Amino acid sequence: MAEIITNHAAYDSKVEGNIFFTRVDAAVNWMRKNSLWPMPMGLACCAIELMGTAASRFDIARFGSEVMRFSPRQADVMIVAGTVTYKMALAVKRVWDQIPAPKWCIAMGACASTGGMYRSYAVLQGIDHLIPVDVYVSGCPPRPEALLEGLMKLQAKIEQSHSSATHFDAEKQA
Amino acid sequence: MLKSRPECGALIFFLSEMSTLYTLLRERFGTAILDTVDFRGEHTVIVERSKAADILRYCRDELSFDYLLDLSSVDYYLEEPRWEMVYELYALANGANHHLRVKFRLPEGEKAVSVSEIWPTAAWHEREVYDMMGIEFDGLSDHRRILMWEGYPYFPLRKDFPLAGKPTEMPDVAFTDKAPLDGGPFVTSPTSETTPHREPRSREKN
């Protein structure tokens, strides 16, 4: 005996096909956060942990970030992994500038976040002096789990963003 | 061009006693050998600055020290002469395995003699000494900085250079800034006896 369903109102796949309703932001954010292609800026021992994060045991592919891009043109998130010396600093900035927007930055480990133990004439005291950082990961170096949590934090941040709304607002004002 | 490896089989036999080596050096260079120091199996010869190049060349050509392990400099700030050059020589030939340290002092403003003609490997080490301490070398063909960038105005391993660094600016090349050293700099005292003493701590008196 057929039961009449009254409260599943909105969507009937037989009538409407494969359509579902969402907000532009929600859809865009969902796509962005699940395919964050990293630009691995490996500068010191943190880079070893970054490699560990990418390898099979920790498998950054579970978070959609397995496509390490060594071209900034194809990257979404720059993972600054290691000590940024003043000699390297402007090169890091240059690579960052070459990444097309939208882009994000993870400062991985103590050195990239604050200069770490290098209170020294040679070391930039945190990459945030040069480029905007979205997530700081503590540790010296951080374990792969910590980096993955940083990545998940970044995903949560992207989920909250209102990029399309901002975009349309800007268009309206123009 | 680098000379071919010296023939020195017989000599190595004699060098099994370090005193033989000192005798050879003294016979050859006399008063230019200022002092010899033996400490826990390490052998050091302190030599006259003006004869240093000759002595080092003799060490390689005649005494079979065919390998320059390292070359470094020491800053005796507020002492005269201020600099000390240190050469770590090693005799690999025929399994001799002798280690000899050669030192000489050098006043500020004077050029040290380059040994890059004797051991080509010295070229990079001498560039590093120049980069970090500002000691220049006579006869070094390539006098660029090696760690810091061309145009960086200071020599950061000098004792009178602050650990935190100094602000500099070279547009499109690099900049530096002063590092925050709250309560520091924290330095260790490597020769003090116990582990708690060796902990890095501020040497400034509160």
DSSP three-state, residue B127: helix
pLDDT for the residue B1 = 37
A120 contacts in chain B (CB < 8 Å): 163-165, 179
Interface test with B, best of A119, A124, A128, A130 (most B CBs within 10 A): A119
CATH number, domain with residue A97 = 3.40.50.12280
Please give the tally of structural domains in chain A.
1
* Residues facing B87 on adjacent strands: B71, B102
Structure tokens, B16 = 């099994």
Q: Cβ of B164 and A119 within 8 Å?
A: yes
pLDDT for the residue A13 = 66
Give the count of beta carbons closer than 10 Å to the beta carbon of residue A78: 25
Residue A27 lies in a domain: no
Please spell the DSSP secondary structure of B14-52, one letter per residue.
HTTSHHHHHHHHHHHHGGGEEEEEEETTEEEEEE-GGGH
Residue B74's pLDDT band, with cuts at 50, 70 and 90, is: very high
pLDDT for the residue B94 = 65
Residue A166 lies in a domain: no
Residue A171 lies in a domain: no
Residue B153's pLDDT band, with cuts at 50, 70 and 90, is: very high
Domain holding A153, by residue range, is 41-160
- C-alpha neighbours within 13 Å on the C-beta side of residue B71: 25
Beta strand B112-113 pairing with B137-138: parallel
Q: What spatial distance separates the first Cα and last Cα of chain A, rounded to whole Å?
A: 60
Residue A119 lies in a domain: yes
Nearest chain B Cα distance for residue A17, angstroms: 57
**Per-residue pLDDT for B162 more than 50?**
yes
The region that residue B56 occupies, defined by phi over 0 for left and psi between -120 and 50 for alpha, beta otherwise, is alpha
CB A28 within 8 A of CB A164: yes
Nearest chain B Cα distance for residue A85, angstroms: 9
Query: Tens-digit pLDDT profile for chain A (174 aa)?
Result: 555 555 555 666 677 677 777 888 888 899 999 999 999 999 999 999 999 999 999 999 999 999 998 999 999 999 999 999 999 999 999 999 999 988 999 999 999 999 988 888 999 999 999 999 999 999 999 999 999 999 999 999 999 988 777 777 777 776
> CA nearest A44: which of A105, A131, A117?
A117
Residue A74 lies in a domain: yes
Instruction: Give the tens place of pLDDT for each residue, A96-113.
Output: 999 998 899 999 999 999
Residue A139 lies in a domain: yes
Residue A18 lies in a domain: no
Residue A38 sits at φ, ψ, to 5 deg, of -85, 145
**Per-residue pLDDT for B9 more than 70?**
no
Residue B191's pLDDT band, with cuts at 50, 70 and 90, is: confident
Mean of the per-residue pLDDT values for chain A? Answer: 88
Q: What is the pTM of this model?
A: 0.79
Residue A173 lies in a domain: no
> CA nearest B143: which of B155, B159, B129?
B129
